[in-house]
Amino acid sequence: MTGQPTSANLNAVQKAVLLVSAVVLAVVLFLLRNGLSTESPMDQLARRSLQPEVALSNKTPTMLEFYADWCEACREMAPAMLETERRTSGRMDVVLVNIDNPQWQDLIDRYEVNGIPQLNLFGATGQLRGRSLGVRTAPQLDALSTALIDNSPLPQFAGIGSISNLEAAETISTASIATASSTSAGPRSHG
């Protein structure tokens, strides 16, 4: 019976095959889920972003997103934002500003960020053309970026996250702004 494998040898071979299969499956699942990049789309965008002051002064339209790492809506929108950034490279800047970084508090205050994701949309000369609050789909981001690049009117989207009309916003009385500011929650609150 020297030619017959023993039960112990079969068990060891089966365990080794199972282990190798599990490792290969884990690697394949990882690559399918994350691609070859280990960075999330939001991390890729944040890493590649210009400084806001550079983007707003380089004669290129800018889509500035206020976000946070913990924001699920921001993460949901990140793949579409990354695709927008890739598609418009050289024609429009996509800039991310993390609201949890104290370095950006002046921008958060200046642009009255009171929810995220918030997109501030700037023309090539750095003028604020509009803003959007909430998740935007890839087609909506495409329409916004096309309007910024072509210097055409911004599309008007229905719903809570609609683009604000800056001229109409300027007619609000300072008393109502002061009242709203004192009672509104900051961008970090969701309650």
Residue-range domain boundaries for the chain: 1-36, 41-183
Distances (CA, A) of 44 to 39, 53, 96, 114: 6, 20, 10, 24
3-state class of 98 per DSSP? strand
Which of 11-15, 74-78, 151-155, 175-179 is least confident?
A: 175-179
Distances (CA, A) of 113 to 10, 15, 104, 131, 136: 64, 56, 11, 10, 17
Residues 142-159 have a mean pLDDT of 88
What is the percent of the chain with per-residue pLDDT over 70, rounded to a whole number?
A: 72
Would you say domain 41-183 falls under CATH 3.30.1480.10?
Answer: no
The single residue listed with the structure tokens 């370095």 is 103
pTM over 0.75: no
Run of H or E residues at 30: helix 7-34
What angle (nearest 5°) sits at the alpha carbon of residue 83, between those of residues 82 and 85?
A: 65
Which of 11-20, 30-39, 134-143, 147-156 is least confident?
A: 30-39
CB–CB of 119/132 below 8 Å? yes
Residues 12-16 have a mean pLDDT of 84
Given a cut of 60, whether residue 187 has pLDDT beyond it is no
Please give the mean pLDDT across all residues of the chain.
80
pLDDT tier for residue 91 given thresholds of 50, 70 and 90 = very high
Run of H or E residues at 174: helix 174-183
CA distance 17 to 71: 41
